């Protein structure tokens, strides 16, 4: 009888732990979905990975202007 009570208590604890883990798992899934939604809504706040540094962009613009000037001089 005492052994049976211990076994019942073990089973209850396992079930409770599994229940809590399942609830936490659902919470993580919901949080991840919310995070994805937020990123999609505010994608403009993230910097594009291929954009580069401002210095690189400035160098590209200067090079483009120099090419344009060179083309105008050739004409």
Query: What is the C-alpha separation between 41 and 63, in angstroms, rounded?
Result: 35
Residue boundaries of the structural domains of the chain? 2-74
Query: What is the C-alpha separation between 34 and 30, in angstroms, rounded?
Result: 6
Span 1-60, pLDDT tens digits: 899 999 999 999 999 999 999 988 888 888 888 998 888 888 777 766 666 666 777 788
DSSP string for residues in the chain: -HHHHHHHHHHHHHHHHHHHHHHHHHHHHHHHHHHHHHHHHTGGGSPPTTS--HHHHHHHHHHHHHHHHHHHHH-
């Amino acid at each position: 009888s005492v052994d049976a009570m211990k076994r019942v208590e073990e089973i209850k604890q396992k079930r409770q732990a599994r229940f809590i883990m399942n609830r936490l798992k659902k919470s993580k899934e919901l949080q991840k979905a919310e995070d994805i939604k937020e990123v999609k809504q505010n994608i403009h706040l993230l910097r594009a990975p291929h954009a580069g540094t401002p210095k690189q962009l400035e160098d590209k613009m200067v090079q483009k202007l120099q090419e344009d000037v060179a083309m105008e001089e050739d004409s």
